Amino acid sequence: MTQIIGPALPQIPWQEKPAGETQPLWRYGHNPVIGRHGNAISNSVFNSAVVPYKDGYAGVFRCDSRAISMDLFAGFSQDGLSWQIEDTPIHLCDNETEVLRREYRYDARVCYMEGHYYVSWCNGYHGPTIGLAWTDDFKTFHQLENALLPYNRNGVLFPRKIQGRYMLMSRPSDTGHTPFGDIFVSQSEDLIYWGRHRYMMGAVKGDRSAWQSMKIGPGPVPIETDEGWLMIYHGVINTCNGYVYRMGAALLDIDKPWQVLYRSKTYILAPNELYECVGDVPNVVFPCAALADSGTGRIAIYYGCADTVTGLAFTTVDTLVQYIKDNNFQE
């Protein structure tokens, strides 16, 4: 038995595992949970982050507009299933206009830490890098310095200081549809200056685990457990029809999270359903948020589907940790 360390969330969105299901994750029966017209301007709503907020949920959503401009929008929900997403992008403020300079914003994660909600996202600043901001009300977002130099994507915070330092995963990249990518952890004492960069894990060359052979990137904010950090990520293979994005999971050392204890050799979710295989970018499942209930061990994962809509899938901490151990990838 693995114990989630963190608050109970008895109202977590949930469906029981269907009889006969053999895979570690099972999809919400009414997926997609958010369709492509999630707000007035959207062409697509995907790769978005939700967190418990007040007596319900809040989130930061990637809505690409019908001009195909990428930006972030706040949304609110009572049950985590039915969402009201705002029609205007989140309001970012700072004293430093250079920091507020906007090229594009996408793929947010939201991390509740020390009483604030921290947002990390892929921020255009002469190329993609990692933007950071905090909010208390999902109305005003206080933007911090970009955490890292371009080019980088998939910045994901750990939800507490570890050994006295904030920790941020990221995936150094290029300016295009990066055909490589490994995960690193950077450390900071103030959320401004990041250093002490550590290699965590990389794409798996060859065909031993080919679904993650081209690049990998961190997904939701990791879930703390008594066995280590439970980390869900995406893995990509390049095929004759283009990139295919699947989901994997790993267990990381609690004090040195760049040390991987176990990592799934077989994927945990793949684009199989029509809304995951057909859309603006076919064959993509891309996780950006996970809710966890320490009381029951239930986990609900929000993921982008085919860069078009948002899906929801369920598992339990015991199911996922056991799966990673039983299907461990060894170098």
Q: Which two tokens stand for residue 280?
A: 């603006």
Query: Could you tell me the smallest distance in angstroms from the CB atom of residue 280 to ligand BMA?
Result: 8
> What is the residue whose two structure tokens read 């706040």?
74
Query: Could you tell me the smallest distance in angstroms from the CB atom of residue 22 to ligand BMA?
Result: 27
- Rounded Cα distance, 228 and 48, in Å: 25
In whole angstroms, how far apart are CA 70 and each of 62, 106, 259? 7, 6, 34
Q: Which two tokens stand for residue 326?
A: 């039983």
Q: Which residues here bind ligand BMA, judged by CB under 6 A?
A: 47, 106-107, 177, 245, 281, 284, 286, 304, 307
Give the residue with the Cβ less far from ligand BMA, 216 or 252: 216
Provide the 10 A C-beta neighbour count for residue 135. Answer: 20
Q: Which residue sits closest to ligand BMA, CB atoms considered?
A: 281
Give the residue with the Cβ less far from ligand BMA, 65 or 328: 65
Q: Which two tokens stand for residue 263?
A: 């990592």
Query: Could you tell me the smallest distance in angstroms from the CB atom of residue 83 to ligand BMA?
Result: 19
Give the residue with the Cβ less far from ligand BMA, 177 or 196: 177
Give the residue with the Cβ less far from ligand BMA, 107 or 293: 107
- Rounded Cα distance, 83 and 38, in Å: 8
Give the residue with the Cβ less far from ligand BMA, 56 or 179: 179
Query: Could you tell me the smallest distance in angstroms from the CB atom of residue 177 to ligand BMA?
Result: 6
Of 34, 49, 39, nearest to 89 by C-alpha is 39
Query: Could you tell me the smallest distance in angstroms from the CB atom of residue 306 to ligand BMA?
Result: 9
Query: Could you tell me the smallest distance in angstroms from the CB atom of residue 276 to ligand BMA?
Result: 12
Angle at 52 between CA 46 and CA 56, to 5 degrees: 100
Give the residue with the Cβ less far from ligand BMA, 230 or 288: 288
- Rounded Cα distance, 198 and 92, in Å: 30
Of 294, 306, 303, 308, nearest to 1 by C-alpha is 294
Give the residue with the Cβ less far from ligand BMA, 125 or 245: 245
Q: How far apart are the first and last CA of the chain?
A: 26
